[in-house]
């Protein structure tokens, strides 16, 4: 059996030292009536050769972003991951360590997390950041709990309809049995309706959640939103795209109170949805309300600079039911990856990456809108993701482009029945001009085919 070391002789000696007659004897506390009297019904053991063959076959049957050209977004993106990220993260000393509770034996990870906290704060122009949450959806839930605690307001939580539907569902689920009600602010034109926001804002609102760029890719009027939200004493929580901050204003620039993001785009593979990492930054004033682990700088007994987990009285292992959050295990290794990524990309690289995403996305949007019947769904500024309306069902086009080795985009019909003809497309810095041109050509053909199919179906019925 792999991974086990005790030989029969070892076992005998160990049992003798214990004073037990057999291994079974060690389990005598488990009542006979609840023992499993048969082997577990799972497949028999595989050697490494067999397992590798099995997994290779299954992995090869997937259409990955390496074997297809990927235009899917919605919170997970096919950005490039520099080799240095994988190299650092594959150091055993990092990935086989536990949470750095013993600071003296964990300075490597602690310093890296301190650098991570600093770089996320620099990136967002916010005062402080924690050392990661699970991902963006539950990260927003944590931000809302924090806002409730900061403001003491248990009434309403306002959320723009243009926030990722899975994020909205996540925090609504978290809040299901707590006092606040989640109220949606409408976005009829693809961004938050300021009048609707103003009409729903009152002194019972703890926070307003806006995503910028939003789920359709559109930019929101964050500065006006911030002023409006603050005029009623509520907190402004923004969900941002870290890559966009290479060109767009930063959450701290427009006075966000809490900034949350999906950190997948910072050097982490898409891997079917996780592990990713939730980024959470906030104003200094809220430091004792922040959820999750924090690394702080201090000195050792000889006065040497060092790092420790700090402000732990906020956390569940000390505060139990009164903790700011229930999070324990976080996404440490992925925070490390993000730290290496940010160091590798640097300020110039981030701006260049953002600019490449921006220009290529706009180039593709223009190409696609030359196809008869295809037009922008909204006339709003966007960053790397945009939403178009088709003359036919979007899912049909997506399905047919699979044949061309293209992961085409997201059908908005998946979340909203009346948007079945609407598609959101993401373009990263990895896409080349010829990929974009091939995509537009294949897209045109697929639209024509789908439209005529729909027409003949309509005629028949």
Partner 1 sequence: MDKSQSTGLLFEISHKGRRCHLLPDCDVPTKTSAELLDKKYLSNDPTHLPEMAEIDIVRHFVNLSTKNMAIDCNFYPLGSCTMKYNPKRHERLGSLSGLAHVHPLQDDQTCQGMLEILWEMQNYLAEIAGLDGVSLQPAAGAQGELTALLVAAAYFRDKKEKRTKVLIPDSAHGTNPASAAIAGFDTITIKSNARGRVDMEDLISKIDSQTAVFMITNPNTLGLFDEQIVQITELIHKAGGLVYLDGANMNAILGITRPGDFGADMMHYNVHKTFTGPHGAGGPGSGPIAVRKQLIPFLPAPLIIKTTEGFKLDYDRPKSIGRVRSFFGNVGILLRGYFYIRTLGPDGLKQVSQNAVLNANYLLSLVKEAFDVPHGDRCMHEFVASARTLRRDKKISAMDIGKRLLDYGYHAPTVYFPLVVSEAMMMEPTETESKETLDHFAKTLIKIRDEDADFLHDAPHTLDISRPDEVKAAKEPMLRWKK
8, 44, 418, 457: which one binds partner 1 (CB under 8 A)? 44
Q: What are residue 240's DSSP bridge partners?
A: 212, 261
The answer to the question of residue 285 lying near partner 1 (CB under 8 A) is no
| CA 105 distance to own-chain centroid | 30
The answer to the question of residue 46 lying near partner 1 (CB under 8 A) is yes
129 interacts with, out of ligand PLP, partner 1, none, CB within 5 to 8 A per kind:
partner 1
228, 293, 378, 397: which one binds partner 1 (CB under 8 A)? 293
Q: Three-state SS across 407-420? A: ECCEEHHHCCHHHC
64 interacts with, out of partner 1, ligand PLP, none, CB within 5 to 8 A per kind:
partner 1
The answer to the question of residue 189 lying near partner 1 (CB under 8 A) is no
Nearest residue to 204 (alpha-carbon basis) of 232, 172, 227, 236: 232
Judged by CB under 6 A, the chain residues 308 through 337 that form the site for ligand PLP are 328-329
d(CA 277, CA 171) in angstroms, rounded, equals 16
433, 452, 455, 456: which one binds partner 1 (CB under 8 A)? 433
Are the CB atoms for 221 and 249 separated by under 8 Å? no
d(CA 374, CA 391) in angstroms, rounded, equals 6
Nearest distance, CB of residue 51 and ligand PLP, angstroms: 25
Q: What angle do CA 345, 252, 218 make, to 5 degrees?
A: 75
Q: Spell out the residues 6+ positions from residue 321 whose beta carbon is closer than 8 angstroms to its own.
A: none
Are the CB atoms for 174 and 162 separated by under 8 Å? no
Q: Spell out the residues 6+ positions from residue 333 whose beta carbon is closer than 8 angstroms to its own.
A: 89, 94, 95, 275
8, 27, 418, 457: which one binds partner 1 (CB under 8 A)? 27
145 interacts with, out of ligand PLP, partner 1, none, CB within 5 to 8 A per kind:
partner 1
Q: How many residues bind ligand PLP (CB under 6 A)?
A: 2
94 interacts with, out of ligand PLP, partner 1, none, CB within 5 to 8 A per kind:
partner 1
**SS3 of 137, please?**
helix
Query: Do strands 406-407 and 205-212 pair parallel, antiparallel, or not at all (unpaired)?
Result: unpaired
Judged by CB under 6 A, the chain residues 329 through 388 that form the site for ligand PLP are 329
Cβ-closest residue to ligand PLP? 329
Judged by CB under 8 A, the chain residues 147 through 176 that form the site for partner 1 are 164, 166-167, 169-170, 172-174, 176
DSSP states of 253-274 as a string? TTT-SEEEEE-TTTT---GGG-
Residue among 180 and 444 whose Cβ is closer to partner 1:
180
The answer to the question of residue 311 lying near partner 1 (CB under 8 A) is yes
197, 248, 261, 423: which one binds partner 1 (CB under 8 A)? 248
Residue among 48 and 418 whose Cβ is closer to partner 1:
48
The answer to the question of residue 236 lying near partner 1 (CB under 8 A) is no
166 interacts with, out of ligand PLP, partner 1, none, CB within 5 to 8 A per kind:
partner 1
Angstrom distances, CA of residue 281 to CA of 215, 315, 324, 412: 21, 17, 15, 30
Nearest distance, CB of residue 209 and partner 1, angstroms: 14
**Residue 94: how many CB atoms within 10 A of its CB?**
16
Residue among 264 and 325 whose Cβ is closer to ligand PLP:
325
Largest pairwise CA distance in the chain: 85
58 interacts with, out of ligand PLP, partner 1, none, CB within 5 to 8 A per kind:
partner 1
Rule CB under 6 A: which residues touch ligand PLP?
328-329
């Amino acid at each position: 059996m792999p991974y086990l070391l005790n030989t029969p002789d070892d076992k005998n000696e160990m049992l003798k030292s214990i004073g037990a007659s057999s291994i079974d004897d060690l389990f005598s506390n488990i009542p006979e009536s609840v023992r499993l009297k048969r082997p577990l019904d799972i497949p028999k053991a595989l050697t490494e050769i067999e397992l590798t063959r099995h997994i290779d076959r299954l992995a090869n049957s997937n259409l990955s972003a390496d074997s297809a050209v990927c235009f899917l977004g919605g919170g997970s993106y096919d950005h490039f991951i520099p080799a240095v990220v994988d190299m650092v993260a594959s150091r055993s000393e990092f990935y086989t360590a536990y949470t750095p509770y013993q600071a003296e034996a964990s300075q490597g990870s602690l310093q890296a997390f301190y650098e991570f906290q600093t770089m996320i704060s620099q990136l967002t122009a916010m005062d402080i950041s924690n050392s990661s949450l699970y991902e963006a959806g539950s990260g927003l839930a944590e931000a809302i709990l924090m806002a409730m605690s900061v403001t003491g307001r248990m009434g309403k939580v306002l959320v723009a309809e243009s926030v990722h539907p899975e994020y909205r569902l996540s925090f609504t689920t978290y809040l299901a049995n707590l006092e606040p009600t989640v109220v949606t602010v409408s976005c009829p034109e693809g961004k938050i309706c300021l009048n609707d926001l103003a009409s729903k804002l009152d002194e019972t609102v703890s926070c307003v959640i806006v995503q910028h760029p939003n789920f359709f890719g559109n930019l929101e009027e964050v500065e006006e939103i911030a002023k409006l939200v603050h005029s009623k004493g509520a907190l402004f929580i923004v969900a941002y795209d870290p890559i966009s901050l290479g060109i767009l204003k930063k959450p701290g620039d427009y006075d966000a109170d809490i900034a949350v993001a999906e950190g997948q785009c910072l050097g982490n593979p898409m891997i079917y949805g996780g592990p990713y990492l939730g980024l959470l930054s906030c104003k200094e004033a809220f430091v004792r309300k922040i959820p999750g682990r924090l690394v702080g700088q201090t000195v050792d007994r000889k006065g040497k600079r060092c790092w420790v987990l700090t402000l732990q009285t906020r956390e569940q292992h000390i505060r139990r039911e009164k903790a700011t959050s229930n999070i324990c295990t976080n996404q440490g290794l992925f925070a490390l990856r993000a730290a290496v990524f940010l160091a590798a990309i640097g300020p110039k690289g981030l701006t260049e990456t953002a600019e490449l995403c921006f220009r290529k996305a706009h180039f593709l949007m223009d190409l696609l809108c030359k196809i008869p019947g295809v037009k922008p769904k909204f006339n709003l500024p966007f960053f790397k993701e945009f939403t178009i309306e088709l003359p036919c069902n979007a899912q049909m086009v997506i399905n047919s482009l699979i044949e061309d080795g293209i992961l085409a985009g997201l059908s908005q019909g998946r979340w909203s029945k009346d948007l079945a003809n609407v598609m959101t497309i993401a373009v990263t810095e990895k896409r080349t001009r010829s990929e974009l041109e091939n995509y537009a050509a294949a897209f045109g053909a697929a639209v024509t085919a789908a439209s005529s199919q729909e027409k003949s179906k309509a005629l028949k019925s």
